[in-house]
Amino acid sequence: MAKIAEGQTLPLEKITFKVLKDGKATDLTGTDLFKSKKVVLFGVPGAFTPTCTNTHAPEYLAMYESFKAKGVDAIYCIASNDCFVTSAWAKSLDAGDKMSILADGDCSFAKLVGLTVETGGFGGLRLSRFSALVEDGSVKKLHLEEGGGYTGVSGAEQMLKDLE
């Protein structure tokens, strides 16, 4: 698929993420996550990587109250890892109820919305770094980081500006 763009609707019925629930891998569908909700969504190439762990995810956690004050129902982070890794990462970040980290271990979401990056020996096919404001499944704002690095384009500060 071509890259998802602002104004498009996510194919909710085709989206499935894994989360760890009561010690078991559990599916969450796009409908479960996005239907009738205002969501801040961001993607990272991998859990426990330095930029994702020290900068990108913590920015969203730090601004949680500001997002809630702007009417955001949920903050979701997608990572190209399995749900056991994303669960451990959420605990290490002390994400609690502030942010759900969704596993896209096979990059099925990344492929579906055209947001893949090939990292070679680092980890192969991964999710591109991005952020989006999604309302009832519709992409209202989209920010893509070029080249796989982090410049702040997909950061929490930019997303909060989009909500003003």
Which residues are part of the catalytic machinery? 52
**Residue 28, SS3 per DSSP:** strand
DSSP secondary structure letters along 29-95: EHHHHHTT-EEEEEEES-TT-HHIIIIIHHHHHHTHHHHHHTT--EEEEEESS-HHHHHHHHHHHT-
Residue 150 DSSP symbol: -
And the tokens for 8?
A: 């498009």
